[in-house]
Amino acid sequence: MSTPHEEKCDVLIIGSGVAGMSAAIAAASSGMKVIVVEKASYFGGTTARSGGWLWIPNTNLAKAYGHHELPDQAFTYIQNQAGAGFDERRVRAFLTNGPKAIEFFMSKTAVQFDMPLTFPDYHAEAPGAAQGGRSMVTRPYDARELGPLLKTLGPVLPELTVFGVTIGSGKEIVHFMRVTRSLESAWYVTKRLAKHFLEVMKYGRGMTLTNGNALAARLAKSAADLSVPVWLSSPALQLLHDGDRVTGAVVERDGKKVSVKARHGVVLASGGFPHDFQRRKETYPHVKSGHGHYSPTPQTNVGDGARMAEAVGGIFDKTLSNAAAWTPMSLVPRKDGTTGIMPHFIDRAKPGVIAVNLDGRRFANEANSYHDLVQAMIAASKGKSETACWLIADHAALRRYGLGFVKPFPMPLGSQLRNGYLKRGRTIADLAKQLGVNAQTLETTIRQYNESAQYGRDPEFGRGSKAYNRYQGDALHTPNPCVAPLRTGPFYAIKLVPGDLGSFMGIRTNEHAQVITADGVPVPGLYAAGNDAASIMGGEYSGAGITLGPGLTFGYVAGNHIADHATVSHPGRTATPVRQALAATY
């Protein structure tokens, strides 16, 4: 057997999403030689496809916007949300280091964030919750700043674009939804589209990056500024170790095996296991029942980090309340014959929209968070042929707000009707026939809902009773931004199925992001962050950015912990911490 080619570095990062790049930048800023390896042919991982929001309390950015929290307020919230999965040491590490990470990135790198004046926690009525100041969004980025790196930036989901434009998930999306009702919004959208089309004519693509694409780009630019190489199409195959200590990994690059020796640490940040079908069967309740699951995350996220960690004594934590960050999806037929996956984030909260189970009955507050709705969908589908539900709207709501991949007026909807994505019925009974639902049941459901909805009330499930409901509703609709009767035919429906934005269950780590054994002992030289590590939220999704925020934070923690505890040996002298030496000896 031939000996693999050898490379040396101080830190090896496996994965190029927010956690991996955060760790790389933190370590490289301390003078360490870092190599990032990425299995996919592009960088950015799930981050590049995300909304680009980060949930981190008590930052200076929040304080600059007037958000000040009581001591331990966020700690109380996480403790309440995580339940039995609460890990005090890791939570305190997150709350301590999260603000430091934001300060570091915003002051030292190309990574920049903005914060809306209000964006409530998803369970804003719970102890310790806040109405704003915790969720921040990545600032849009000029793609030209990336230079040659742009061609290998991870793509956005096509289903989340309009004419190829990735709409920003803050104020911008509000303008697009109000384009026919506000002169200000119409002018904004006109300028935004005109700018995009001019950029396409000049550069062959739009140059304004938003959401997670902007975050991935900003991180890549920051890493490039520190001369951190990113090896694409280079999967890590197995960890190298000397006794108990992890010393690097075997990486496949250009068809050859490369032994990458990392003198001070390896960070696992390979994106979790959303496409590991065996692990899904073990941990996803609906998949255990033989039902389908759909994830828009990169197909390369197959649990490599967990398997490598387990091989050297790490533990995969299955004790969390939910295995993944659940999100309702609809399946979009594409023109090329493939199927796209469309996440449903905000349409469910709009007035004139409800969801029913496969029997034609409502089963939850549709305006609650996507994670909560899928949990309710799974429970409502027990004993059924599939885990699914129908999202229903009347004509007025559909044309005003859109529904899933169907855009609001004046965009046409004929193609979605022809390919079967959108179902339409002249009457509720006609729609029920299209859905295979009992007509009398569906008519009764909507009649009962309409009786109270005409007054802006939903006594059955309380749409609009929570701050997050109202935030995602239509502020211009009164008296309840989330409630209106379904009266104006024809009526429409889209099937929703369970999906995820990434996994929550993962490798057990300590407060320093070190991988630990069943006894709680760190595996020397091995770290994990992002979706490779078990979520600090215990399997719950409690605010916008609850994956990216801890991912950035614990990547930063890992990079700094490696630098703080690494030493460089000098002949005839005592070993010196790397931060002091700022030198490499090979």
pLDDT in tens, 264-311: 999 999 999 999 999 999 999 999 989 999 999 999 999 999 999 999
- CA pair distance 14, 50, nearest whole angstrom: 19
| Cα separation, 517 vs 507, whole angstroms | 10
143 and 262 belong to one structural domain:
yes
Query: 75-89, 113-127, 147-161, 437-451 — which is least confidently predicted?
Result: 147-161
User: Do 306 and 337 belong to one domain?
Assistant: no
CB 510, CB 516: distance < 8 Å: yes
Q: Domain holding 415: CATH number?
A: 3.90.700.10
DSSP 529-561: -GGGBPPTTTT---STTTTHHHHHHHHHHHHHH
Which is nearest to 491 in space by CA: 361, 356, 342, 352?
352
Which of 471, 500, 529 is where one domain is finished? 500
Q: What is the pTM of this model?
A: 0.92
pLDDT at 580: 55
> In 3D, which of 545, 566, 155, 551 has the Cα closest to residue 345?
545
The reply to whether 488 falls in a domain is yes
- What's the pLDDT tens digit per position in 373-388? 999 999 999 999 999 9
Q: Is residue 105 part of a domain?
A: yes
pLDDT at 576 over 60: no
Q: What is the mean pLDDT of the chain?
A: 92
Closest CA to 163 of 214, 206, 201: 206
Place of tokens 């849009």: 140
* pLDDT on residue 341: 96
Q: Among 475, 500, 525, which residue terminates a domain?
A: 500
Sheet of 113-114, strand order: 53-55, 135-138, 113-114
Residue 187 falls within a domain, yes or no?
no
Q: Tell me the C-alpha distance between 433 and 483, whole Å.
A: 25
pLDDT tens profile 389-434: 999 999 999 999 999 999 988 888 999 999 999 999 999 999 999 9
Identify whether 363 is part of a domain: yes
**Single residue among 452, 474, 500 that ends a domain in this structure:** 500
Q: Which residue has the tokens 């031939």?
A: 2
User: What are the helix (H) ranges across 436-524?
Assistant: 439-453, 467-472
Asked if residue 197 is part of any domain, the answer here is: no
**Residue of 506, 499, 520 lying closest to 15 (CA atoms):** 506
Q: What is the pLDDT of residue 47?
A: 97
Q: How confident is the model at residue 573 (pLDDT cuts 50, 70, 90)?
A: very low
Same domain for 19 and 135?
yes
Angle at alpha carbon of residue 101, lines to 551 and 506, rounded to 5°? 20
Residues 473, 349 share a domain: yes
Q: What is the DSSP letter of 313?
A: T
Kindly report the number of other CB atoms within 10 A of residue 281's CB atom. Answer: 12
Residues 350 and 270 in one domain: no
Distance from C-alpha of 332 to C-alpha of 263, rounded to nearest angstrom? 47
Do 469 and 535 reside in the same domain of the chain?
no
Buried b (16+ CB within 10 A) or exposed e, 104-126: bbbeebbbbbebbeebbbbbbee
Mean pLDDT of 13-21: 98
DSSP string of 2-40, one letter each residue: PPPEEEEEEEEEE--SHHHHHHHHHHHHTT--EEEE-SS
Q: What CATH number is given to the structural domain containing 221?
A: 3.50.50.60
Q: Which of 195, 193, 164 minimizes the C-alpha distance to 179?
A: 193
Largest CA distance in the chain: 88
Read off the pLDDT band of 490 (50, 70, 90): very high
Q: Are residues 309 and 340 in the same domain?
A: no
Question: 377 is in which domain, residue-wise?
Answer: 328-500
- Per-residue pLDDT of 103-137, as tens digits, reads 999 999 999 999 988 899 999 999 999 999 999 99
Nearest to 509 by CA among 225, 94, 148: 94
Residue 497, beta-bridge partner list: 329
Sequence-distant (≥ 6) Cβ neighbours of residue 278 within 8 angstroms:
none
| 8-state DSSP, 214 | H
Read off the pLDDT band of 165 (50, 70, 90): low
Name, in order, each residue with C-beta under 8 angstroms of 198's C-beta and a sequence gap of 6 or more: none
Is 222 a residue whose pLDDT tops 60? yes
**271 & 372 share domain:** no
Say whether both 318 and 365 belong to one domain: no
pLDDT, residue 570, reads 41
CB contact burial 191-200 (16+ within 10 A = b; e otherwise): ebbeebeebe
How many separate domains does the chain show? 2
By mean pLDDT, which of 174-188, 228-242, 551-565 is the weakest?
174-188
315 in the same domain as 247: yes
Query: Within a domain: residue 440?
Result: yes
Whether 161 maps to a domain, the answer reads no
115 found inside a domain = yes
Q: Are residues 367 and 446 in the same domain?
A: yes
Does residue 90 sit in the same domain as residue 235?
yes
